[in-house]
């Protein structure tokens, strides 16, 4: 039988044996084989009628363009289009009478591969080769489906057997679902517990490996540092409002603010919240300061021990909300009290005190109160309803300075003083008292001031002591600052009178002692002869005392001693003058008040470095 017709004979034989049921795959020969088909029909009819061997009837040469057999038995080459009406089975393990069901193509063998070989060889035509691979061919290998770039050898897509339903789903509009067949956005990842995306840098490019996870669940949306202990450096809780964090195009960050100010790095927009600074105790703040340099200038923390905010100035912590200014003007010019702080932006604040100088105070204050920032004062017989001083210009809400009264001088801690001696009329013997419960400052003979408005808003402290001990008025607050004022100068007129009497009595007693020691005739006709009868040094009361110009201090120092000094000091203990006595024995020195204010002073006699005696003198 001609080899060119043999395939057709086999085909007709097959269909004849199956009663011509056309449910098996057939080969459709196009119009170019029209002549062959006509001959085939004739052969089929003759075979049916005669039941003769079809191979004998068809033993003739096929047309030149018919199906040909190649040199390798079992291999067919079709040099034209091929159309299969029905299903197609391919592979070494394709079964006879294969049941196809709804499958159009079935590939069956133990090493399934498909190779797409692009034979383009022109310079500008793409010619990359591709392939499909179904499972590995090695024992114990992976069960997968892979799309291979056969030119580079890379597997560009891999799907393992057993992957979950809708592991990768692309909708008609291009939305991609992972774990869902109905993605709501461009990419939706759906799983029952914490959907996660991992960003992993390996070391293939020479960089340090690092893994980050972006994930979310019912508790929070977060970024996880999977390389360093799975810490969560960034978290957003469900229910966070719109623009809880909003970064503007210019880099400004808004918190509860969709339009942060372009000139601010951080703009807080909430109207029902505040800014809570880093909080630490004093020890922690001090330790932090030890690690800071000028580069951290401007860092701010809150000290929970001192209840103050502190800012780092590059060298040390500086408290916020306190004023460390010096008074550049604090003086009395005539009857005008002038005050100015270095940073207050005002040349001088002036209060005219002339209306308060009537040189009498044998009256009761019928008005002495503070209304707002106005100090109101009126005496019963002054003929004026109220004298008012506006104190608002002096309220700078600072209390970082101490007031001290030295003699008749009222001094500020950071500089400036007022000489109050001109306001001492020496006629008032009244006591000041303070009601700590009601914060009322009262004069003994009437008049009071409510101090409640003067509780500084910047200093939440309680007065722990306000007492008068002798002539010392003491004010102390809970944080330990205190002020002691010697009001002895206020009582100077009475003390001066008492001192005069004391001086006279002391002088009389000393003279009596001298008379008794020297066994004189009982007269006070002059100073005794100390050389013969007095064995030790003596210091006498100054005469006159009190004095307003010059006073004389007498002394006696036996010649057996080497040196002697008279030291004059203030009531606070400050040494004002150290006078060396160039004459031993009986002598005196004169003291002039030119450098001394009206006050009580003390003078002591020192002989060979040892104090012998101390006495008091009063300067009018």
Q: What is the pTM of this model?
A: 0.43
> What's the rounded Cα separation, in Å, for the pair 212 and 198?
6
| Cβ contacts of 142 within 8 Å, gap of 6 or more | 135, 136, 160
Structure tokens at 61: 């040469």
DSSP-based three-state secondary structure for 37: helix
Looking at residue 343, what is its pLDDT?
Answer: 66
> What's the rounded Cα separation, in Å, for the pair 219 and 138?
45
> What's the rounded Cα separation, in Å, for the pair 567 and 577?
6
Mean pLDDT of successive 10-residue stretches along the chain, which has 620 residues: 48 47 43 50 49 38 45 78 92 91 94 93 91 94 95 95 95 95 95 95 95 96 96 96 94 93 92 92 95 94 94 94 70 82 74 72 70 78 77 60 72 74 60 77 77 60 76 77 77 69 64 49 40 72 93 95 94 90 93 89 94 93
DSSP-based three-state secondary structure for 368: strand
Closest CA to 617 of 516, 542, 521, 524: 542
Q: How many CA atoms lie within 13 A of 380 on its CB side?
A: 9
Q: With left for phi above 0 and alpha for psi between -120 and 50, is residue 376 left, alpha or beta? A: beta
Between the alpha carbon of residue 151 and those of residues 133, 145, 146, 156, 380, the distances in Å are 14, 18, 15, 12, 115
Dihedral, CA atoms, 195, 197, 202, 207, nearest 10 degrees? -130
Q: What is the DSSP string of 137-176?
A: SSTT---EEEEEETTTTEEEEEEETTPPTTSSEE-TTS-E
DSSP-based three-state secondary structure for 10: helix
- How many CB atoms lie under 10 A from the CB of residue 126? 6
Residue with tokens 């090493």: 111
Which strands form 463-469's sheet, in the order they lie side by side? 463-469, 472-477, 482-486
> What's the rounded Cα separation, in Å, for the pair 474 and 466?
6
Q: What is the DSSP string of 482-547?
A: EEEEEGGGTTHHHHHHHHHHHHHHHHHHHHHHHHHHHT--S--SS---HHHH--S-EE---BSSSB
Closest CA to 335 of 318, 359, 308: 359
Q: Look up residue 327 and give its DSSP letter.
A: E
Looking at residue 469, what is its pLDDT?
Answer: 85
| Cβ contacts of 470 within 8 Å, gap of 6 or more | none
């Amino acid at each position: 039988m001609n080899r060119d017709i043999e395939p057709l004979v086999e085909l007709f034989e097959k269909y004849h044996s199956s009663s011509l049921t056309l449910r098996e795959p057939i080969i459709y020969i196009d119009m170019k084989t029209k002549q062959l088909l006509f001959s085939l029909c004739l052969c089929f009819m003759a075979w049916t009628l005669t039941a003769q061997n079809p191979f004998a009837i068809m033993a003739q040469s096929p047309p030149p363009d018919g199906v040909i057999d190649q040199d390798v038995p079992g291999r067919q080459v079709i040099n034209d289009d091929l159309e299969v009406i029905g299903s197609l089975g391919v592979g070494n393990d394709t079964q006879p009478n294969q049941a196809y069901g709804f499958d159009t193509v079935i590939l069956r063998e133990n090493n399934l591969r498909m190779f797409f070989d692009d034979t383009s060889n022109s310079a500008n035509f793409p010619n990359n080769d591709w392939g499909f691979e179904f499972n590995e061919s090695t024992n114990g290998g992976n069960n997968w489906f892979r799309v291979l770039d056969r030119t580079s050898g890379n597997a560009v897509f891999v799907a393992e057997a057993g992957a979950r339903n809708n592991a990768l789903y692309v909708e008609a509009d291009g939305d991609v679902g992972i774990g869902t067949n109905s993605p709501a956005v461009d990419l939706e990842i759906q799983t029952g517990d914490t959907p996660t995306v991992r960003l992993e840098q390996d070391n293939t490019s020479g960089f340090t490996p690092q893994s980050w996870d972006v994930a979310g669940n019912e508790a929070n949306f977060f970024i996880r540092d999977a390389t360093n202990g799975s810490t969560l450096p960034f978290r957003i809780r469900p229910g966070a409002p719109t623009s809880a964090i909003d970064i503007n195009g210019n880099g400004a960050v808004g918190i509860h603010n969709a339009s942060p100010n372009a000139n601010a790095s951080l703009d807080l927009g909430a109207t029902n919240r505040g800014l809570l600074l880093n909080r630490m105790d004093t020890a922690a703040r001090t330790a932090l300061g030890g690690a800071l340099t000028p580069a951290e200038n401007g860092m701010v923390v809150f000290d929970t021990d001192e209840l103050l905010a502190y800012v780092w100035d590059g060298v040390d912590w500086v408290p916020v909300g306190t004023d460390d200014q010096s008074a550049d003007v604090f003086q009395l010019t005539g009857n005008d009290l002038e005050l100015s702080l270095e940073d207050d932006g005002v040349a001088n604040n002036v209060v005219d005190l002339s209306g308060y100088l009537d040189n009498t105070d044998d009256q009761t204050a019928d008005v002495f109160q503070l209304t707002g920032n106005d100090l109101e004062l009126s005496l019963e017989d002054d003929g004026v309803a109220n004298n008012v001083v506006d104190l608002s210009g002096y309220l700078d809400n600072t209390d970082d300075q101490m007031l001290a009264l030295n003699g008749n001088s009222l001094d500020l801690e950071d500089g400036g003083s007022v000489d109050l001696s001109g306001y001492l009329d020496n006629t008032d013997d009244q006591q000041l008292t303070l009601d700590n419960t009601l914060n009322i400052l009262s004069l003994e003979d009437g008049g009071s001031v409510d101090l409640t408005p003067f509780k500084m808003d910047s200093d939440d402290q309680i007065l722990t002591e306000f007492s008068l001990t002798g002539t010392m008025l003491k004010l102390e607050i809970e944080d330990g600052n205190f002020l002691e004022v010697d009001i002895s100068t206020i009582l100077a007129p009475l003390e001066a009178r008492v001192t005069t009497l004391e001086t006279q009595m002391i002088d009389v007693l000393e003279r009596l002692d001298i008379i008794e020691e020297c066994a004189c005739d009982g007269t006070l006709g002059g100073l005794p002869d100390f050389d013969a009868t007095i064995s030790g040094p003596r210091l006498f009361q100054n005469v006159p005392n009190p004095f307003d110009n010059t006073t004389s201090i007498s002394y006696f120092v036996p010649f057996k001693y080497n040196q002697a000094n008279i030291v004059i000091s203030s009531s606070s203990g400050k040494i004002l003058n150290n006078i060396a006595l160039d004459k031993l024995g009986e002598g005196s020195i004169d003291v002039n008040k030119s450098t001394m204010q009206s006050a009580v002073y003390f003078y002591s006699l020192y002989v060979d470095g040892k104090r012998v005696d101390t006495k008091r003198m009063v300067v009018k």
